[in-house]
Amino acid sequence: MKIFASLLLLASTLVAQQPAVVRSPEIHPDRRVTFRLNAPKATEVVLAGEFMRNPQPLAKDERGVWSVTIGPLEPEIYHYNFTVDGLRIVDPGNPDLKTGSTASTLQSSLEVRGDAPAFYDGQPVPHGEIRTHWYESKATKTLRRVTVYVPPGYDAATTTPYPVLYLLHGANADENAWHRLGRANHIMDNLLAAGKTRPFLIVMPFAYGIHPGTPSGPGEAMAAFGRDLTEDLIPFIAARYRTLGDRDHRAFMGLSMGGGIALNLGLNKFLDHFAYIGGFSSGLGRADALPQTYAGVATDPAAVNRKLRLLWIGCGRDDSAFAGSKALSDFLTASKIEHTFRETDGAHTWIVWRKYLHEVAPQLFR
């Protein structure tokens, strides 16, 4: 009995020494959200997220728990961080994380649900599959991974070939970003169930030709990815899936860094491979350099217009990439190259990019 009593005393002492358990984030019925952090020795805690324009300080109570309540928030998926005495951290009370290919991507994820399902929510409709493959890239001399969205009914339609969208992530992300953060599979499932788009494969590769952090010359990483795409990845997909191999049934799009790659390589080098090209909040470099970068497509705009079924450029007005996207659109207009420029609300976030995929997908392969 004495041993048992001693164990109970030890257990109660250990529990007493544990930090206070706090709930964070707590979503209230009116869609206000309370964030909390147990940090009794901290002198300052600040919250920053996609749901606010400016960071907001938290207040500390007598237990050493910091908190702040914001909102109400619109139904959406948001990313956020705490900064504790100058150190940026994720919310330790929240297991939902945004991850990628570099540490700078790491953020906590907050999903605020509305009264009805969102266009990116999983719904009771036929579902496609996310499949992962490894392939040998001779162009980059590496083993690379690719993620593929296969629409519902693909396996049953044993003789039907499918169009393909090659869809790129942005900087610091990876080949999982478009389905984990962009909900591309749910977006497509819902569109297909509503009869708003035709079924097609979505191929989501690792869009770095040279791994991030590895020194490389200007344009070297993009060129390496372009070789991998055309020499290794497209043949790999064609060998494993029933695809329509002509350019009229192939699209090339991406967001941020991936949008810059899709527009640059798509327009300057790969017009014979893709009839649909697009960029979401694209990383295009200096706006004043774009006429030189895209000078080649301006030499024969009639030929470009004959080849392209869709050239789509979108960007939010609060995005630092907006000036470049607008400048490219102005250059294309002046060069008489037909395209769509979609100017919307929003910043450089998945909130915008999910909407763009939802808008663009029905325009492909019509």
Task: Clarify whether residues 231 and 160 are in a common domain.
Answer: yes
Q: Which residues pair with 233 in a beta bridge?
A: none
Q: Which residues pair with 131 in a beta bridge?
A: 148
- Nearest-angstrom CA–CA distance, 55 and 58: 10
pLDDT of amino acid 20: 62
What domain range is 276 assigned to? 129-363
pLDDT of amino acid 6: 43
13 is a domain residue: no
Between 10 and 94, whose confidence is greater? Answer: 94
Quick: pLDDT tens for 304-349.
Answer: 999 999 999 999 999 999 999 999 999 999 999 999 999 999 999 9
Domain boundary (82, 112, 142) is at 112
CATH number at residue 352: 3.40.50.1820
Task: Clarify whether residues 148 and 92 are in a common domain.
Answer: no
Domain boundary (87, 112, 137) is at 112
CATH number at residue 77: 2.60.40.10
56 is a domain residue: yes
Task: Clarify whether residues 247 and 328 are in a common domain.
Answer: yes
pLDDT above 70: percentage of residues in the chain: 94
pLDDT of amino acid 347: 96
- Nearest-angstrom CA–CA distance, 226 and 208: 10
Give start and end residues of each alpha helix (H) in 18-79. none
104: pLDDT strictly greater than 90: no
168 is a domain residue: yes
Quick: pLDDT tens for 208-244.
Answer: 999 887 887 768 999 999 999 999 999 999 999 999 9
Task: Clarify whether residues 89 and 200 are in a common domain.
Answer: no
Decide: helix, strand or coil at residue 281. Answer: coil
Domain tally, the chain = 2
pLDDT above 90: percentage of residues in the chain: 89
- Give the strand pairing for 340-344 and 310-316: parallel
On average, the pLDDT of the chain sits at 93
CB count within 10 Å of CB 44 equals 13
Task: Clarify whether residues 134 and 88 are in a common domain.
Answer: no
Decide: helix, strand or coil at residue 280. Answer: strand
pLDDT of amino acid 9: 40
83 is a domain residue: yes
Task: Clarify whether residues 39 and 167 are in a common domain.
Answer: no
Task: Clarify whether residues 70 and 185 are in a common domain.
Answer: no
pLDDT of amino acid 160: 97
pLDDT of amino acid 216: 77
Detail the DSSP E strand segments found in 23-75.
26-27, 33-38, 45-49, 56-57, 59-60, 65-70
Task: Clarify whether residues 235 and 286 are in a common domain.
Answer: yes
Quick: pLDDT tens for 339-350.
Answer: 999 999 999 999
Task: Clarify whether residues 32 and 155 are in a common domain.
Answer: no
Structure tokens at 143: 């083993």
Under the banding of pLDDT at 50, 70 and 90, the label for residue 2 is: very low
Task: Clarify whether residues 136 and 108 are in a common domain.
Answer: no
18: pLDDT strictly greater than 80: no
265: pLDDT strictly greater than 90: yes
Instruction: Tell me the residue type at 64.
Output: G
pLDDT of amino acid 35: 98
Task: Clarify whether residues 210 and 66 are in a common domain.
Answer: no
Measure Cα distances from 214 to 170, 176, 211, 217, 225 in Å. 17, 21, 6, 10, 14
Task: Clarify whether residues 233 and 348 are in a common domain.
Answer: yes
Instruction: Tell me the residue type at 339.
Output: H
89 is a domain residue: yes
Quick: pLDDT tens for 129-180.
Answer: 999 999 999 999 999 999 999 999 999 999 999 999 999 999 999 999 999 9
CA proximity to 318, closest of 285, 351, 361, 354: 351
Region 49-62: mean pLDDT is 96
pLDDT of amino acid 351: 97
